[in-house]
Amino acid sequence: MSGAAEANPNIDLGSSLGNTPAPDFRLVNQFGQATSLSQFRGKVVLLSFEDSECTTVCPLTTQSMVLAKELLGQAGDSVQLLGVDANPTATAVSDVMSYSRVHGMVNEWDFVTGSVPQLKKAWGDYHIAVQIEQGDIDHTPALFVINQQGQEQKLYLTQMSYSGVGQAAQVIAQEVSSLLPSHPKLASLQSLAAIPPLDPTAKATLPGANGGASVELGPGTPRLVVFFASWVSEVSDLPAELKVLNAYAKAAPAQHLPPLTAVDETVAEPSPAAVDSFLKAAGPLAYPVGLDKNGRLADGYGVQDQPWLVLVNAAGKVTWSHDGWLSLSAIEAAAKAHP
């Protein structure tokens, strides 16, 4: 790897695991079918540990796995994507199916779960720390590359960076390519140097959702910016929350509140089409929605979760941020208290 890649804090270049035998497990996938690691012997396995209700780093891991396989082209048929549930409070088959569905992964991987003792055994075997802090699941964001003989090759830790998703995928795909007999060339390559974020002091132009007008952000106008992704619908009533934002947008001029702009974190979506389809079903919105296709805006605005609310003043300074949905009155109160 280049020095620029090594200096990039948004990607993990991997730690060698020295061909250690990968511990086997027997759990059930999103279809309720018995699934073991050993059944995929002969394929390279990308094994991740992901919270079935995660709205933070897990979707970035999921997306990097998918993109890594896509970069391998036809050789990707020799790669198996496999996830293990890392949420001790959401272990039902319906939980892993719901996560798989909202991320467009139902037929793209096996996302396995089981009883809490079974999962704890798998977590322990792979040194995955799982804990509940103030109601939130915190776990090691690990992705393992396991070779065709069932041996651990590399461990990657997903970083909380939206702009680094594609780069992480490239690093993983290059490792997989080295294990495949044909050593396939990747479908595309990008620089692994750190991608500069777009913070609120920079002017940014995003494509509008559903082919709408482009969305402008940057200094000069105070704004309420709401970051979201369609897969948040797994854990909250997203259409209803967007309608709450409709009420804010309509009341803002009369109450002298900053105008609202919503930003979909498209880099972590199953596809841009999934975003458009969801928004059409949600109904008309009274505010613009931009598409953050490369994650630079989310990184620049310090997004750590979905949804993420940010108030920015006219100078481009973040005056307030909030993780999660709020009532209309609470959003209005925050806008008045943090000019």
Which of 92, 81, 83 lies closest to 43, judged by CA? Answer: 81
Tens of pLDDT, residues 126-166:
999 999 887 788 999 999 999 999 999 999 999 999 999 99
Q: Which domain holds residue 80?
A: 3-179
Res 128: pLDDT:
97
| Cα(199)–Cα(190) distance, integer angstroms | 22
Residues 102 and 142 both lie in one domain = yes
pTM of the model: 0.96
Residues 159 and 290 both lie in one domain = no
Residues 155 and 216 both lie in one domain = no
Residues 122 and 237 both lie in one domain = no
Residues 213 and 91 both lie in one domain = no
| Cα(286)–Cα(144) distance, integer angstroms | 44
Residues 258 and 317 both lie in one domain = yes
Q: How far is CA 18 from CA 22, 152, 176, in A?
A: 11, 7, 15
Place of tokens 């991320």: 103
Residues 150 and 58 both lie in one domain = yes
User: Tell me, what CATH number does 227's domain have?
Assistant: 3.40.30.10
Q: Kindly give the interhelix angle for 328-337 and 238-255, rounded to the nearest 10 degrees.
A: 40
Residues 208 and 174 both lie in one domain = no
- Residue 197 within any structural domain of the chain: no
Tens of pLDDT, residues 299-316:
999 999 999 999 999 999
CA dihedral 93, 98, 103, 106 (to 10 degrees): 50
Residues 115 and 237 both lie in one domain = no
β pairing state of 130-133 and 136-139:
antiparallel
Q: What is the count of structural domains for the chain?
A: 2
Give the chain's end-to-end CA distance (angstroms, integer): 45
Tens of pLDDT, residues 169-209:
999 999 999 999 999 999 999 999 999 999 999 999 999 99
Predicted confidence band of residue 324 (pLDDT cuts 50, 70, 90): very high
Tens of pLDDT, residues 255-291:
999 999 999 999 999 988 899 999 999 999 999 999 9
Three-class secondary structure of residue 197 per DSSP: coil
Proportion of the chain above pLDDT 70, given as a percent: 100
Q: How many residues does the chain have?
A: 339
Residues 27 and 153 both lie in one domain = yes
Residues 172 and 212 both lie in one domain = no
Res 1: pLDDT:
62
Residues 170 and 216 both lie in one domain = no
Residue 235 has pLDDT above 80, yes or no: yes
- Residue 57 within any structural domain of the chain: yes
| Cα(215)–Cα(155) distance, integer angstroms | 39
| Cα(87)–Cα(138) distance, integer angstroms | 9
- Residue 186 within any structural domain of the chain: no
| Cα(145)–Cα(48) distance, integer angstroms | 9
